[in-house]
Amino acid sequence: MVSKMIQPRLTQLFRFVRCSYADGVAELAYAFDDGEELVERIRFPHAPAIPAGHAAAFDAALKLLHLIAGVSYYKAGVPPKIEVASGPLDDATAELLDQLYLHGLAEFAYRNGLDLRGRITFPRGAAAQPPAPAAGLPKRTLVPIGGGKDSLVAVEAIKSIGGEATAVWVGNSALIAACAERTGLPTLNIQRELAPGLFELNRLGAWNGHIPVTAVNSAILAVAAILYGYDSIAFANERSASAATLEYEGQQVNHQWSKGYAFEQLLGNWLHTHVASDLDYCSLLRPYSELAITRAFAKLMPYFDAFSSCNRNFKLLGPKPADRWCGQCPKCHFVFLALAPFLPKPRLLSIFGRNLLDDENQASGFDALLEYQDHKPFECVGEGAEARAAMYALSQRPEWQEDALIERFRSEILPQLDASQLALEPWLEPSAEHHVPTRLQPALATIG
Ligand SMILES: CC(=O)N[C@H]1[C@@H](OP(=O)(O)OP(=O)(O)OC[C@H]2O[C@@H](n3ccc(=O)[nH]c3=O)[C@H](O)[C@@H]2O)O[C@H](CO)[C@@H](O)[C@@H]1O[C@H](C)C(=O)N[C@@H](C)C(=O)N[C@@H](CCC(=O)O)C(=O)O
Ligand SMILES: Nc1ncnc2c1ncn2[C@@H]1O[C@H](COP(=O)(O)OP(=O)(O)OP(=O)(O)O)[C@@H](O)[C@H]1O
């Protein structure tokens, strides 16, 4: 309960009050103006003592987690001033946060009619510390699991090179837990409890919207890597995640910004210099498009009855889909379309329990994926051009031609497209751009 009633949208100052860690629980405290503290808690199960000699690395990772997780609270008021109680930040840290808050909240700003440019300035001025030394971390990998296809492709790639890995997830989703179990890897489930005061602020009319949640999960896993002893964190963020959802008044708005390559490099470099030079943060799927990943996932049949990419499963509050796939949202639309070229049709329909491409009511949802009369949805979906390539491929296959939305594509949309831009094959080629450490690079060759 935020006893001192605050009108979140009228606040002038956002404060990073303190962060602490004891007995497996990190406490992250924030406040607006002179209001009550908002305290988020992260629980690390069966946490060992902080390893001898790793206290500085742990403190640096915890401090970054505090600064990054603040984005959920800062957004409630977006006041003009930010204060960090422990003092100003060095330039690299302030830059990382300025970028994350500006770009990671770009969708939030766009949808709320706000302009955050020039508003977000983390206090800087602290002298840069000497680069962090190596911590001698064990050669094993934390592989975050999101319940969807991407992380399962990453898991199988690491397994295929005999890499030692743990499947890790944040939050208490039973669906993610089932996928993690299915990998056969050791598992680690970290709990995250948002400050209850945030929900009260939401009721009081706080600004609300999308936050860069992958950055928060990444910072939690950096703390976990030092605590439990892992030298690498391998996310499953695809190449397409770097593409903007839309451009608005000269600013790119990307729903998936903290899944993109720019953030991966910023955070990876920051962890090397500020936490431990041997802690690697990367995305194993960075060279691959969504279509290359769905092609790889189509070979992983043991996961078909466990996974779901539908984000409605992952809400903290409110109802969840009865059968893993709501069948209505952009993620359901996109994953159905992107898997279709690589799976026998009956197999695909059995995963989703229905045929989304034979349902006229879903036309506008698929149109948005194709960027036809609409922009790409604010969701984790592939590029418009790859959705068009998948749709075109289906339109050439006899088994799909009579489905309502494929028929509509052929008669209404296809004549307006440049046929030379519709091939599927170029999307299956990996790009050379990635930040994957040498030790894990052999896994890249196993995808595709
Ligand atoms: C599950 C989901 O999509 N949630 C988004 C949704 O939240 P909603 O209000 O419908 O329900 P809850 O998830 O229960 O959240 C309740 C309120 O809590 C606040 N909040 C939640 C998590 C958090 O980390 N920080 C928070 O501040 C917020 O006030 C919620 O209203 O709509 C919200 C508003 O637009 C979104 O912020 C919720 O998104 C979650 C943070 C979330 O986990 N979303 C992922 C499924 C997601 O979007 N993943 C992206 C990753 C992109 C990235 O750059 O990280 C993706 O896969 O593309
Ligand atoms: N609750 C979570 N805990 C830890 N990592 C997560 C969590 N949710 C998502 N991630 C990770 O964030 C990254 C992006 O999530 P995303 O939803 O795109 O992947 P996914 O669930 O594996 O696949 P899909 O695209 O099919 O949903 C992935 O590496 C995923 O493992």
pLDDT tens digits for range 74-133:
999 999 999 999 999 999 999 999 999 999 999 999 999 999 999 999 999 999 989 999
**Ligand 1 binding pocket includes 257 (Cβ within 6 Å):** yes
**Ligand 1 binding pocket includes 85 (Cβ within 6 Å):** no
172 HSE (CA, 13 A, CB side)? 9
Which atom of ligand 1 lies closest to the CA of 146? 57
Centre of ligand 1 to C-alpha 258, Å, is: 13
Radius of gyration of the chain measured on its C-alpha atoms: 22
Centre of ligand 1 to C-alpha 358, Å, is: 30
Q: What is the Cα–Cα distance from 334 to 369, expressed in whole angstroms?
A: 7
**Ligand 2 binding pocket includes 79 (Cβ within 6 Å):** no
**Does an H or E element contain 18, and which?**
strand 13-22
Centre of ligand 2 to C-alpha 124, Å, is: 32
| pLDDT confidence of residue 4 | 60
| pLDDT confidence of residue 249 | 84
| pLDDT confidence of residue 140 | 98
Strands 251-253 and 246-248: antiparallel
175: which DSSP letter? H
Residue nearest to atom 56 of ligand 1 (CA): 380
User: What confidence category does residue 401 fall into, taking pLDDT thresholds of 50, 70 and 90?
Assistant: very high
Global ipTM: 0.97
In whole numbers, what is the pLDDT of the chain averaged over residues? Answer: 95
Centre of ligand 1 to C-alpha 222, Å, is: 21
Residues 216-259 pLDDT 10s? 999 999 999 999 999 999 999 999 889 888 888 888 999 999 99
Q: Is the pLDDT of residue 358 over 90?
A: yes
Residue 52, Cα to own-chain centre: how many angstroms? 32
Q: Is the pLDDT of residue 346 over 80?
A: yes
Centre of ligand 2 to C-alpha 204, Å, is: 31
Q: What is the Cα–Cα distance from 283 to 272, expressed in whole angstroms?
A: 15
**Ligand 1 binding pocket includes 214 (Cβ within 6 Å):** yes
Better-predicted residue by pLDDT, 335 or 251 = 335
What pTM was estimated for this model as a whole? 0.96
Residues 27-84 pLDDT 10s? 999 999 999 999 999 999 999 999 889 999 999 999 999 999 999 999 999 999 999 9
Q: What is the Cα–Cα distance from 319 to 315, expressed in whole angstroms?
A: 8
Which atom of ligand 1 lies closest to the CA of 202? 29
Say which amino acid occupies 34: D
User: What confidence category does residue 381 fall into, taking pLDDT thresholds of 50, 70 and 90?
Assistant: confident
Q: What is the Cα–Cα distance from 333 to 70, expressed in whole angstroms?
A: 32
Q: Is the pLDDT of residue 369 over 90?
A: yes
Centre of ligand 2 to C-alpha 180, Å, is: 12
What average pLDDT does the segment 148-169 reach? 97
Going from the C-alpha of 117 to that of each of 88, 265, 284, the distances in angstroms are: 21, 22, 32
**Ligand 2 binding pocket includes 151 (Cβ within 6 Å):** yes
Q: Beta-carbon neighbour count of residue 175 at 10 Å?
A: 20
Centre of ligand 2 to C-alpha 146, Å, is: 3
Inter-helix orientation angle 290-297/149-160, to 10°: 70
Q: What is the Cα–Cα distance from 158 to 380, expressed in whole angstroms?
A: 23
Q: Beta-carbon neighbour count of residue 10 at 10 Å?
A: 11
The first and second tokens of residue 338, run together, are: 């992107």
Residues 93 and 274: beta-carbon distance below 8 Å: yes
**Ligand 1 binding pocket includes 254 (Cβ within 6 Å):** no
Residue nearest to atom 15 of ligand 2 (CA): 146
Cα–Cα–Cα angle for 266, 268, 273, rounded to 5 degrees: 95
